[in-house]
Amino acid sequence: MTLPTYPVETTAPPTAPATAPAAARAQLLNQGSVAQYRQAIAAGVDRVARRVADVDRPGTGVTPAELAPLVDRVDLDRPLGDAGAALDELEDVYLRDAVWFHHPRYLAHLNCPVVIPALLGEAVLSAVNSSLDTWDQSAGATLIERRLIDWTAQRIGLGPDADGVFTSGGSQSNLQALLLAREEACAETLAPAARAELLPRLRVLTSAAGHFSVQKSAKLLGLSPDAVIAVPTDAGRRIRPAAVREEIARCRQAGLVVMAVVGTAGTTDFGSIDPLAELAGICAAAGVWLHVDAAYGCGLLVSPTRRHLLDGIERADSVTVDYHKSFFQPVSSSALLVRDRRMLRHATYHADYLNPARMVEQRIPNQVDKSLQTTRRFDALKLWLTLRVMGPDALGALFDEVVDRAADAWRLVSEDPRFEVVTRSQLSTVVFRYLPTGPGRDLADAANLHAREALAASGLAVVAGTRVDGRHFLKFTLLNPATTVDDVGHVLDLIATHAGRYVHDHATADLTCSVG
């Protein structure tokens, strides 16, 4: 790859001309700069459109060592002067080597291609720049977000007392859910000394296949290092309800307090959905908060054929949804929902300069009363325009397509003697690995790691990796309806070629050494 070079500036920046303030003001979006705004945005859209039209692979395989010098050479103290020149430079430092999630052979992480109405929303919300903390900064935007929260709560089935708020993503939603659960567990503990004594005894039960953000949240919430207990899973990588029941009883016998059980509707690696109805029954009987992390599986809320996989989610105390995973929205677009809106009071703080308490009496809706964030983007607009243009059934049909495609991919891999596959996903992941035969079997871990790296370096496809029971595996995450079975088969052949060559080279070298 031939990389462009930039001259290294060694002199001090020139003195700014006297007209700089006027030139800077000309860059502000207002009545006087509408034509410039149209031109600049159109140029950016055209640049991206041309890139999308010409993309023939999901990446270029560029390495940090190759790209970092180009970025480092950009002198941020010397502006280029116009948007066209900046876009030309952006080609070299970003667009040329961007990872394109819309390409059908991007099969790695939970990144989805995005729908056009959501991109329209992104353009509008960025230009208007509403901040969703208080009514006097957002007006109609506040009501649109609240309407979407109500719509999502209805889809989940949380009932008339439900509420929620948009967040930056699943990790923030999980953090806020566990904050609410912690505060409810401490609700009857008023004295600071009693609260300090209780906190080290709080425990969170979650699946051994659950998301790492649960552990991170526990740390941020000041819980003990061993507060999160990983509960074993069954053969389908779903949490075992009997083990949850036993763990609750064990904790109580040991003087510990289970403040929450976290069920998962779509684990990151396996796409497994915990038995939510059984978990809800256990938590209700034990008086324990049930949080469902449906960041991945929330697409089932609009599925015309698979909504039943979420049965029981309506009994959760809180639910995480990530529209930017399975509703085909740009990052970020996520939300936390709660069954009882009163629980959100644990995130409320009234500041006299922002949302004084008297506004509650005046029934002025301030979203900051519910959020961990203050200044916050109007990300709800993307989903709003998507629903108004496409409707939920269309989104559900797209999500059904990728789940169907994953089932096809699972059959393809399971019938291929070159590979072994773990479990069949309820959603759209396939966890598998190349399995050498004969004396090369001991090289399986290294061969799969090599195959993934070699594939990424080629730019022809991108797949993910993970560890299962201590061994290295590869993973397809299908979120693109444009991905075909032929695409999957082609990527499998590429993986087998890279891994097989690695095994051949190293097994031959080992044999030569032993003979020598």
For 383-424, write each residue's pLDDT tens digit. 999 999 999 999 999 999 999 999 999 999 999 999 999 999
Give the pLDDT score at 3.
42
Residues of the chain whose pLDDT is less than 70? Answer: 1-19, 190, 508-516
What pairs with residue 204 in β-bridges?
228, 260
Beta strand 318-322 with 334-338 is: antiparallel
Of 115, 121, 152, the C-alpha closest to 394 is 115
What pairs with residue 206 in β-bridges?
230, 262
Tokens at 227, concatenated: 């507060």
- Tens digit of each residue's pLDDT (9 = 90 or more) over 336-389: 999 999 999 999 898 888 888 889 888 889 899 999 999 999 999 999 999 999
Residues 6+ positions from 369 with CB-CB distance below 8 Å: 344, 347, 348, 350, 355, 360
Tokens at 205, concatenated: 């039960």
Tell whether the torsion through CA atoms of 382, 47, 71 and 465 is positive or negative: positive
> Which amino acid is present at 313?
I
Task: Report the mean per-residue pLDDT for the chain.
Answer: 93
pTM: 0.92
Pair 184, 289: CB distance under 8 Å? yes
Tokens at 47, concatenated: 């640049």
Pair 372, 335: CB distance under 8 Å? no
The DSSP output letter for 273 is B
List, in sequence order, every beta strand (DSSP E) within 26-173. 106-107, 163-167
Q: Which residue has the tokens 């697409």?
A: 299
Helix (H) or strand (E) run with residue 234 in it:
none
